[in-house]
């Protein structure tokens, strides 16, 4: 299904080539080249862009379908008040592929009633769907029990702390709050360290390829076999007591971060013979009210030992999650 979200502020009046709509806005045209991961054109891919028959608020917004030709191309042409093409973000799709999209514009120069550059070309990648698997997926926001410098274990499969703080069984993440200060909503800071239970467990950050940025699935298909570090540190600081002096802020997590992790590792003769692999989308955020800590992270965990597959079917093995905790993102 296409995402039916038109970006806020997208004041557009677009039409497909030859639709003949009229508007006082300048015209705009872009060409999109759709390729697979091998760089070869993908023909027969459906795409959607939006246009408005008149000024936004007075006309009817419509979605116009196009199909890539044998060279993997399609062209969108129409009117734009803002110099931005109104593509639904992930509106390019084909059976057997993850949906993708394109970020076209914005353009700033107008010449002879046209946004420049005219007929700007963009390339987007359609990635084939491999062999997705069910996973434990959770957007966790958890209160960290205990005080400063008191390690406590969190079980990712049980989604609970191990005793005496909960009913979990395996301390996959060992969380230690190392700083908790809260003077006001405008003046607070917190720090936490995450370590692991087994030799070979760990975490590593990965840079997701830019060419996959618009894809519904923008991760490597498999977690790495090696390279996991034994510790992760999270920090957050916010200080804005006197606005005249500006704001001091620090946050080691952000929405563009991506991490792989490995837990429950079993080794024999230096070889990993058992382990669970997972990924974290958007970093690990830490906070505190001065008495307890809070840890937030969005994780996927493949429950099959030694299976490094990171493609998620959308079948979440957790049951009964609240809406904000659940996800169907691959």
pTM: 0.85
Domain limits, CATH 2.60.40.1120, in the chain: 12-125
pLDDT at 15: 36
Pairing of strands 160-161, 46-52: unpaired
Do 136 and 326 contact (CB within 8 A), yes or no? no
| Contact call for residues 173 and 166 (beta carbons, < 8 A) | no
- Cα distances (Å, whole numbers) of residue 295 to 5, 13, 122, 191, 285: 30, 44, 39, 10, 6
C-alpha to C-alpha distance for 182 and 189, rounded to whole angstroms: 7
* Cα gap 30→17, rounded to integer Å: 11
The greatest distance separating any two alpha carbons of the chain, rounded to the nearest whole angstrom, comes to 74
The domain defined by 12-125 carries CATH number 2.60.40.1120: yes
Instruction: Return the pLDDT at 284.
Output: 96
Ranges of the chain with pLDDT below 70: 1-24, 50-63, 84-90, 241-247
**Tally of CA atoms within 13 A in the half-sphere of 245 that contains its CB:** 6
Cα distance between residue 176 and residue 194, in whole Å? 6
Beta carbons within 10 angstroms of residue 238's beta carbon: 17
The pLDDT, as a whole number, for residue 36 is 97
Residue 238 pLDDT: 86
Taking alpha carbons only, the member of 189, 17, 174 closest to residue 165 is 174
Give the whole-angstrom CA distance, residue 288 versus residue 190.
Answer: 6
């Amino acid at each position: 299904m296409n995402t039916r979200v038109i970006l806020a502020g997208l004041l557009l009046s677009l039409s497909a080539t030859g639709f003949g709509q009229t508007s006082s806005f300048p015209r705009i045209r872009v060409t999109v080249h759709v390729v697979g991961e091998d760089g070869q054109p993908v023909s027969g891919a459906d795409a959607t862009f939006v246009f408005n028959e008149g000024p936004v608020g007075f006309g009817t917004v419509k979605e116009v379908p196009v199909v890539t030709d044998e060279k993997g191309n399609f062209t969108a042409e129409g009117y734009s008040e803002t110099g931005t093409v109104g593509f639904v973000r992930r509106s390019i799709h084909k059976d057997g592929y993850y949906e993708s999209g394109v970020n076209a514009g914005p353009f700033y120069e107008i010449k002879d009633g046209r946004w420049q550059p005219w007929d700007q070309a963009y390339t987007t990648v359609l990635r084939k769907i491999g062999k997705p698997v069910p996973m434990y997926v959770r957007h966790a926001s958890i209160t960290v029990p205990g005080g400063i410098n008191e390690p406590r274990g969190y079980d990712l499969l049980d989604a609970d702390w191990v005793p005496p703080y909960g009913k979990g069984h395996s301390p996959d993440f060992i969380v230690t709050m190392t700083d908790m200060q809260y003077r006001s909503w405008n003046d607070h800071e917190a720090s936490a360290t995450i370590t692991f239970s087994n030799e070979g467990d760990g975490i590593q950050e990965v840079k997701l390829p830019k060419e996959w940025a618009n894809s519904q699935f923008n991760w490597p298909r498999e977690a790495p076999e090696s390279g996991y570090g034994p510790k992760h540190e999270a920090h957050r600081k916010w200080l804005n007591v006197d606005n005249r002096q500006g704001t001091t802020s620090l946050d080691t997590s952000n929405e563009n971060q991506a991490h792989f992790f490995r837990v429950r590792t079993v080794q024999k003769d230096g070889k990993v013979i058992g382990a669970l692999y997972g990924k974290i989308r958007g970093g690990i955020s830490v906070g505190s009210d001065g008495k307890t800590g809070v840890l937030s992270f969005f994780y996927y965990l493949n429950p099959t030992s030694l299976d490094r597959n990171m493609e998620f079917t959308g079948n979440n093995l957790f049951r009964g999650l609240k809406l904000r905790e659940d996800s169907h993102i691959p």
